[in-house]
Structure 1
Amino acid sequence: MDPEITLVTLGVDDLDESIRFYRDGLGFPMRDREDDSDVAFFTLDGTWLSLYPRNLLAEDAKVPDEETGFSGITLAHNVSERDEVNAVLEEAEAAGGRIVKPAQDVFWGGYSGYFADPDGHLWEVAYPDLTDE
């Protein structure tokens, strides 16, 4: 297997709301789709993001659709400047996301914060201060 992630699919409760959040709020480029389609694809640098109804994704994977709190997965977006962390968090909040952890200096030497999308998927926005390397 090649060490590459080509697609990340998020199970969502309200596809239209999630499309608005990612496409309209965060400006992710969405691929064309039929109005009645159950899936939305976004072309990102190096990978794709898809949104699919949570219950249908669970059914497809043959697992129960039960929310149990933290899923054990976060997505990350690294930025090249410290101030960009705050700007991206503000953008996510303005788009309807919820700030989970305000930006702050972190134990690994960088600066980061977390937001949750409308379905609670966690995104870390980080500036990895690499000046010492």
Structure 2
Amino acid sequence: MNRLTVVTLGVDDLETSAGFYLQVFDTPPNRDHEDVCFFPLPGCWISLFPLAHLAEDISPSVPKSRGGFSGVTFAHNVKTRDEVVTVIERARAAGAVVVKEPQDTFWGGFSGYFADPDGYHWEVVWGPMFDFTEDGALLFKQG
């Protein structure tokens, strides 16, 4: 089976980002290695790694900085509309910039967006077409 297992975010300050995501996810990270931080979430882990080290690991020719909106967002699906508001408020309290307050979507869901300390954009979203398995994996409802 093919599946996405880890998303690694290149961050400017590992400790700042680790503290931020600890507050947002309300899940303790795995810090077995001092240069990387893992948040084991249902279905996919989030890894934080210093941006310069990540770029160097890929190739010495990869730029060690970013600029502007990359065209990529991350989605954190939740089970209720109220959870959207709760997670957005946790992100705001952790220092996120809320770029779109929670609101009804054109497709029948409810979502909001925040940017983390490194400018990565996250959508926190509830949708009536989504369901979760017992282990937290996201599914489309049948029917």
**Between the two proteins, what is the percent identity of the paired residues?**
53
Distance 1:32 1:14 in 2: 15
Aligned to 1:76: 75
Aligned to 1:6: 5
Q: Return the offset for 1:24.
A: 4.2
User: How many residues are aligned here?
Assistant: 129
Q: CA RMSD in A?
A: 1.7
Distance 1:23 1:127 in 2: 21
Report the TM-score when normalising by structure 1: 0.88
The residue type paired with residue 76 of structure 1 is A
Aligned to 2:44: 47
Distance 1:47 1:39 in 2: 16
Distance 1:48 1:25 in 2: 14
SS of 1:71's equivalent? coil
With over 3 angstroms needed to count, the CA separation of the structure-2 counterparts of 1:47 and 1:26, relative to structure 1, is closer
SS of 2:3's equivalent? coil
1:110–1:128 CA contact under 8 A, matched in 2: yes
Q: How does 1:1-133 map to 2 (within 5 A)?
A: 2-34=1-33, 37-62=34-59, 63-130=62-129
CA displacement, residues 74-130 of structure 1 (integer Å, 9 cap, x when unaligned) = 111111111211111001100111101111111111111001111111110011123
The residue type paired with residue 123 of structure 2 is E
Misfit runs of 4+, over 3 Å:
none
With over 3 angstroms needed to count, the CA separation of the structure-2 counterparts of 1:20 and 1:40, relative to structure 1, is same
Distance 1:42 1:79 in 2: 17
Structure 1: gaps spanning 5 or more residues: none
The residue type paired with residue 38 of structure 2 is F
Structure 2: gaps spanning 5 or more residues: 130-140
1:26–1:95 CA contact under 8 A, matched in 2: no
With over 3 angstroms needed to count, the CA separation of the structure-2 counterparts of 1:127 and 1:24, relative to structure 1, is closer
